[in-house]
A and B are shown apart, each in its own frame.
Chain A
Amino acid sequence: MSEPFSYYSGIPSFYMMIGIAMIAILLFLLGMYLNMQKWGGGSASHFLKTFLKSINHEKLGHHKRQSLIITIVLDILLQRRILRRSPFRWVMHMLIFVGWIGMFIFSMIFAVFEVLHEIGMEINLVEIRHSLDFGNEVLGYMLLIGLVIAIARRLAISDVVKRTQMFDWVLVLGTLFITITGFMAEGYRPDAITGAWTFLGSNVALAETFALFHVAISLLFCIAYIPYSKYMHMLAAPMVILVNGGGE
C-alpha cells in the first residue's frame, strides 16, 4: 500500500473496491427489479405506475390523508408508529436505523471524494476522513448498541423468542458481524492525522485484510442482499407508509 493512510476504506486497491461496489449495486438492482416484477404481477413498470398513483390516492371514510411532508418526517424518519406502541423498541430501532443510515451516508460521501481524488482532483482525503471520524464513531456505537439490544430481546423476552425465525436472525446477526468487523478494521488502522495505531495495535497486513473484508461484506450484505432478505423492509415499509398515508 503506497499511501497507507490515504484511503478512508483502507483498501489496497481503489479499483477493487469499485469493482465490488459495482457487483453489489448490480445485484441490488436485479433484486429490486425482481421484487417490483413480483409486486406488479410480472411487470415492474406496472408496479411503479400503481405505486406513484397510490401515493396521492384519496382516503375513504372519515380518515383524512395527512400531508406528504408529515408522513415523511413523522412516520418514516421519526417512526412515530413504533414509538406509540413501544418506546423501548423505538429506541432500539432508532439506534439501528440512524446508525445504519448515517454510516451509509458517510460512506457514500467519502466514496465520492475518493472517486474525485482518483480522477485527479486536489483533495486532502486525510482531512476529510478526520472530519468524519467523530460522526462515524458515534454512529458505529449507536448501531452496535441497537443490535445488542435487538439480540438480547430475541434471547430474553419469551414471546419474542417464540416468534423469532432464522429469517430474523440472519439480518440481526449479519449486521452485528459487519459492525464488529468495522470496529476491528478501525482498530487496526492507523489514526488519520497522527499516524498512531489505534486500539488493536500495529498490524498493517491485518488492517488491510479487515478493511477489505469489512467493505466487501458490507457492500454485499448491506446493499446487494437487501432485496433478497428481511432488509427489504427498509425500503418496502416506507413505501407502504407513503401509499397508505401514514398517521398514528
Chain B
Amino acid sequence: MADEEKPRPVIPKGEPYIKTDVISPTFMMQYDACTRCGECDKWCPVLDAKDGDRKYSPMDKISRFRTFMGQSYGLKAKIFGPKRLDEDDIQDFSDAFFHCSTCGVCASVCPAGINTVDMYEATRQQLVMRDNGPYGKTIMFPKLIGEYRNPYLKDQKQRLDWIPDDVKIAEEADVAYFAGCTAGFNQQVLGVCTARVLNHLNVPFIYLGEEETCCSSAIIRTGQPHKGDVPYINAKHNVEALEARGVKKVMFACAGCYRVATIDWPKQLGRKPNFEVVHVADLLADLIQQGKIEWKKSFDNKIITYHDPCHLGRHCGVYETPRIVLDNLPGLKFVEMDRIKELQRCCGAGGGVKAGISDLALDIASERIRDAQAINADILSSCCPFCRRNIGDGRDNVYDQQGSTNFDLRDNPENAMQVEDMIVLVAELMGLSTKIKAQEDEDKAAGVEAAAPKHLKDL
C-alpha cells in the first residue's frame, strides 16, 4: 500500500499506537505462544516465493507484532507509557502482513498449535482500522460487495443468466445449491456442471437466484468485515433466505463459499444455520461408494492429481471425498503430488493475494504447477474456482518460462497440462454437456451441433 501522501494518525500522548479491540484475548495470547522454532518458515508459500526474504517470514511477522504489543502494553509501557512507534515501521509490517494467502499451513505445522488464520484475519482488521491496510485494490471489496452484492459489479438479476435451458431447478426441495458469485458470473462452467450433475443424479435442488448474495469471503479474509458490516448482513440474508425455503442441506461446489458457510456464518450469526452444509464432493463420493454413479466416457490413460484448496482442506477438514471421486474417474490414474492434505502447498490466490498482489499469486501458483509436473500429471484438478483460475495462470506462466526448451508443448498445445475443477471432469465423464448457456446460444445461432469432446472415449 505504502501511500506516502497518507496523513499520519494523531495518537494522543499515553495512548498505545496499535489498539487490540478486535483481536480476541486468545488470539492475543497466541502471539506469546510462538516458540520461534521456524517450522512455519519451512512451509510458507509466500516466504518461498519471496526467496526467503525475512520480512515475509510468518515467524518474524509474529515477532514484530509481539514486539509492538510489548512496547504498547508491557511492563515498561505501564510505567513510562506506551512507546511512540514509528509509523513507517507499522506500515512496513502491515504490508508484509497482507502478503499472506491465509492458507494456514503455518497453523498445521506449528508445534504450539497457533491458529494463525483467524489470528491473522483479526490482526488484519486491526491494521485496516488504523488505515494501514488492506493491500492494493482489495480495499474495494466492501464497497463493491456491499453495493452490488457480488464482487463482479453485476446486477443481481443476472444471477440467473448462467442457467441453461436443460437445467431443472425445483421450486421446493430438501437441497439447495449455493452457486456463489464466481460460478454464477465468472466461471459459469462450474455452476452449469454442478447443476447438470445434480439433475443427472436425480437430486432435486432449489437455487436462491436473485436472492443469493455474495458469501463475502474476500472481505473477511482481507480484514474488512467491519466496513459496513457487509459479511454479517450477507450471512444473515443468505441463511435466513435458505432457512425460509425449508431446505435441509445446502450444496456448495466453491471452496471459498463452503468455508464461509461452515465457519464464518456460525461465527457471524452466533448460531449454526438450520441446515447442513455439504460440499458436492461429499455427495459424489457417497454415491460412488454406493455404486450409484454410471460413467459414460473415459479418459485415455491420463495421470490426474489433486490440489487441496486451503478453504476446503485445512480450513474445513475435507480431504478424502474429492480424492475418492478423482480416484474413481475412468481412464485416469490418480497420483499424489508433493505437499498434500494438511501440508498442501497453497495455490496463492487466497487472503486477497490474487486481487491485491497478483504477481505473488502467480509465483506461488507456478510452484504448484512444478509440483504437478514432477509427477508428470496430465490433469491437475481441484474443487475451488480461485485455485482453478490461479493455477491455470501459473501453468501458463511456467509454460512461458519453459517455452524456449519445450517445443513439443508449443507445437502440440493439446499436450498441455489441463487444470480443471473436479465437477467439470465429473460432468464430462457422465457424458453431460459442459457448455455454458452463452456458448450453447451461440452454437444454436450458428447452427452448430454439439460434438462429444475429442479427448474422451465412449465406455
Residues of A within 8 A of B (CB): 30-31, 34-35, 37-41, 46-47, 50-51, 54, 60-63, 75, 79, 81-82, 85-86, 89, 159-160, 162-163, 165, 167-168, 228, 230, 232-233, 236-237, 239-241, 243-247
A34 contacts B114, C-beta separation under 8 Å: no
Verify B63–A167 contact, CB threshold 8 A. yes
Residues from chain A with Cβ under 8 Å of B335 in the complex: none
**B292-317 CB contacts (< 8 Å) to partner A:** 315-317
Contacts of B317 in A (CB 8 A): 61-63
Per-residue contact bits, chain B 1-29, to A (CB 8 Å; 1 contact, 0 not) = 00000000000000000001101111011
Residue pair B29, A236 in contact (C-beta under 8 Å): yes
CB of B355 within 8 Å of the partner chain: no
A159 to B41, CA, bound (A): 10
A160 touches B38 (CB 8 A): yes
A163-B317 Cα distance, complex, nearest whole Å: 31
From 32 to 48 in chain B, residues with beta carbon under 8 angstroms from any chain A beta carbon are 32-39, 41-42
Q: Which residues from A are CB-within-8-Å of B316?
A: 60-63
Pick 18 A–B contacts, CB within 8 A, sort by A.
A34-B78, A39-B26, A50-B24, A51-B26, A60-B266, A75-B113, A85-B111, A86-B39, A168-B36, A232-B32, A236-B30, A236-B33, A240-B29, A241-B113, A243-B26, A243-B29, A244-B115, A245-B113
Interface centre among B57, B69, B113, B114 (most CB of A within 10 A): B113
Give which listed residue, B32, B57, B63, contacts A233 with CB less than 8 A.
Answer: B32
Nearest 5 CB-CB pairings of A with B: A62-B317, A61-B316, A236-B33, A237-B112, A38-B73
Are B263 and A81 in contact (CB-based, < 8 A)? no
- Contact of A159 with B32 at beta-carbon distance under 8 Å, contacts A41-B20, A165-B63 already known: no
Interface 0/1 of B411-447, CB less than 8 Å to A: 0000000000000000000000000000000000000
Cβ–Cβ < 8 Å partners of B32 in chain A: 35, 39, 232-233, 236
Decide: A47 and B29 in contact? CB cutoff 8 A. yes
Q: Which residue of A lies closest to B27 (CB)?
A: A39
Shortest B16–chain A CB gap in Å is: 10
Chain B minimum-CB-distance residue to A62: B317
Task: Determine if A163 and B38 form an interchain contact, defined as CB atoms under 8 angstroms apart.
Answer: yes
Task: Tell me which of A51, A165, A237, A241 has the highest count of chain B C-beta atoms within 10 A of its own C-beta.
Answer: A237
Given contacts A82-B111, A162-B54, A163-B36, 11 further A-B contacts (CB under 8 A): A38-B69, A41-B21, A62-B318, A85-B111, A86-B39, A230-B36, A233-B33, A236-B33, A237-B111, A240-B112, A243-B29
Q: In whole Å, how far is B12's beta carbon from the nearest beta carbon of chain A?
A: 16
- The interface residues of chain B lying within 8 Å CB-to-CB of A31 are 75
Interface check B139, CB cutoff 8 A = no
How far, in whole Å, are A205 and B267 apart by their CA atoms in the complex?
64
A237 nearest CB across to chain B (Å): 4
| B398 interface residue per 8 A CB criterion | no
**Contact A233–B35 (Cβ < 8 Å):** yes
In chain A, what residue has the closest Cβ to B263? A60
Q: Is B109 an interface residue when CB atoms closer than 8 A count as contact?
A: yes
Q: Is the CB of B25 within 8 A of A47?
A: yes
**Do A167 and B315 touch (CB < 8 A)?**
no
Indicate which residue in B26, B75, B113, B267 contacts A81 across the interface (CB closer than 8 Å).
Answer: B113
- Asked if A38 and B113 sit within 8 Å, CB to CB, the answer is no
One of A46, A62, A162, A241 near B112 (C-beta < 8 A): A241
In contact, B36 and A41 (Cβ under 8 angstroms): no
Find chain A residues with CB under 8 A from B266 CB.
Answer: 60
Residue of A nearest to B282 (CB): A62
Within 8 A of A (CB), among B312-339: 315-318
Query: Is B74 part of the binding interface, using a Cβ–Cβ cutoff of 8 Å?
Result: yes
Question: Once the chains are docked, how many angstroms separate the CA of A62 from the CA of B34?
Answer: 26
B110 within 8 A of A: yes
How far, in whole Å, are A40 and B38 apart by their CA atoms in the complex?
27
CB neighbours (8 Å) of A54 from chain B are 26
Contact B54 A163 (CB under 8 A): yes
**Distance A88 CA – B132 CA, assembled complex (angstroms):** 41
Evaluate contact between B111 and A34: CB separation under 8 angstroms: no
Closest to A80 in B: B111
A59 to chain B, nearest CB (A): 9
Contact between B29 and A37, CB atoms less than 8 A apart: no
Least CB distance, A29 to chain B, in whole angstroms: 13
Complex formed: what's the CA distance from A244 to B110 in Å? Answer: 12
What A residues does B20 contact at CB under 8 A? Answer: 38, 41
Which of chain B's residues 96-118 have a Cβ closer than 8 Å to chain A?
Answer: 109-115
Shortest Cβ distance from residue A231 to the other chain B in the assembled complex, whole angstroms = 10
What 1/0 flags go to B40-74 for Cβ under 8 Å of A? 01100000000000100101100100000100011
Establish whether residues B113 and A61, one from each chain, have CB atoms under 8 Å apart when the complex forms.
no
B262, A61: Cβ atoms closer than 8 Å:
yes
Q: How far is the CA of A86 from the CA of B42 in the complex (A)?
A: 12
| Residue among B30, B69, B115 facing the most chain A CB atoms (10 A cut-off) | B30
Nearest CB in chain A to that of B72: its residue: A38
What is the minimal beta-carbon distance from B317 to any residue of chain A, in angstroms?
A: 3
Could you tell me the distance between the alpha carbons of A82 and B39 in the complex, rounded to whole angstroms?
A: 9
B112 x A89 contact (CB < 8 A): no
Bitwise, B175-207 to A at CB < 8 A (1) or not (0) is 000000000000000000000000000000000
Please, how many angstroms separate the alpha-carbon atoms of A167 and B24 in the complex?
A: 25
Bound CA span A239–B39, Å = 19
Shortest CB-to-CB span from A175 to chain B, Å, is: 14
Cα distance A75–B113 in the bound complex, in angstroms: 9
A241: nearest chain-B partner, CB-CB: B113
Q: How far is the CB of A44 from chain B (nearest CB, A)?
A: 10
B38 touches A159 (CB 8 A): yes
Bound state CA distance, A42 and B368, in angstroms?
44
A244 to B69, CA, bound (A): 22
